[in-house]
């Protein structure tokens, strides 16, 4: 029996609609939530992603801007820009779009962001608060995945969750969220990575299997527990000469075989991606509310 498709687009629309009243209340008090994206260089995927964020922000009645800098921009120049963004009263949150050119130390730049404007949730102060269970902002993709599970009726407490990939953007923070003592946590979590032995055996134990390794179609149906929920974070471009663009987008799951075994699965695209943007909007509204409260 084919797996149920978890529609990230429709759930993201629901989350965005739930922000309507909060945005209206902020506007009533003279505040238009504003976010900015700093885009360094000319990475095509980053440009598309930032444009999607800007389009969504505008459609929700918030304000947005894209700050572009050439690829040769120095660390000191970006640090100066970050200082300016931290001081701007009209700007409630901003992101530094990844990936950055190789000569820039992304972690050091993130540390310069005002934690109250860190709507990506990557500043060490915000990561620490999340780890302790008292978050200001949650990282957008992990938070979006938890929302996907909760709103799709997938039970997290008591489940065996296996996360493939230990990156700081998705895998590691997600493993923390799923294991927190909270209504949307309390899972038993295994965090796998490139040095894990017998990856297939780990996968077959999972009630919830999160794929975030960036290896196209590497997880096949024989690696999945029957009835498991599979959340595919991977977005990989593979050559396909027969298509107009010459390529197709695939996840880390071999969708055809995995969907025959799993109970539920996210598609690529249309699964996790829209949720990441929706959670960025949520963090922006939260940042505006918090800054307004602190100003009072």
Beta pairing, strands 264-265 & 4-5: parallel
Specify whether 120 is catalytic: yes
* d(C-alpha 19, C-alpha 73), whole Å: 36
Going 13 to 15 to 16 to 19, the CA torsion angle's sign is positive
Q: Residues with Cβ < 8 Å from 167, sequence gap 6 or more?
A: 212
Residue 49: half-sphere exposure toward Cβ, Cα within 13 Å: 22
* Pairwise CA distance, residues 257 & 261, whole Å: 7
Given 53, 114, 118, 252, which residue is catalytic? Answer: 53
Contact by Cβ (8 Å): 236, 249: yes
C-beta atoms surrounding 124 within 10 Å? 12
Catalytic residue, chosen from 114, 118, 120, 232, is 120
Catalytic-labelled residue, pool 97, 225, 252, 291: 97
Rounded distance between C-alpha atoms, residue 190 and residue 205, angstroms = 10
What are the residue numbers of the active site? 53, 97, 120
């Amino acid at each position: 029996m084919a797996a149920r498709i978890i529609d990230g687009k429709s759930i993201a629309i629901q989350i965005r609609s739930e922000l309507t009243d909060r945005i209206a209340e902020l506007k009533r008090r003279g505040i238009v939530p504003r976010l900015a994206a700093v885009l360094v260089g000319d990475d095509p995927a980053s440009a598309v992603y930032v444009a999607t964020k800007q389009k969504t922000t505008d459609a929700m009645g918030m304000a947005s801007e894209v700050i572009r800098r050439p690829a040769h921009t120095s660390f000191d120049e970006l640090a100066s820009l970050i200082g300016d963004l931290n001081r701007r009263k009209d700007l409630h949150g901003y992101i530094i779009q990844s990936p950055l050119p190789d000569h820039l130390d992304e972690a050091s730049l993130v540390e310069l962001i005002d934690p109250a404007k860190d709507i990506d949730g990557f500043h060490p102060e915000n990561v620490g608060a999340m780890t302790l269970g008292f978050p200001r902002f949650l990282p957008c993709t992990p938070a979006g995945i938890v929302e996907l599970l909760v709103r799709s009726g997938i039970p997290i407490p008591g489940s065996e969750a296996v996360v493939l990939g230990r990156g700081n953007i998705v895998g590691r923070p997600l493993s923390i969220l799923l294991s927190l003592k909270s209504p949307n946590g309390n899972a038993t979590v295994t965090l796998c990575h490139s040095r894990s032995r017998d990856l297939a055996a780990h996968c077959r134990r999972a009630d919830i299997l999160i794929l975030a390794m960036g290896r196209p179609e590497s997880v096949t149906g024989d690696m999945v527990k029957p009835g498991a929920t599979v959340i595919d974070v991977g977005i990989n471009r593979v050559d396909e000469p027969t298509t107009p663009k010459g390529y197709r987008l695939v996840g880390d799951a071999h969708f055809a075989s995995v969907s025959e075994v799993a109970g539920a699965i996210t598609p690529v695209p249309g699964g996790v991606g829209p949720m990441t943007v929706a959670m960025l909007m949520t963090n922006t509204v939260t940042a505006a509310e918090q800054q307004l409260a602190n100003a009072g």
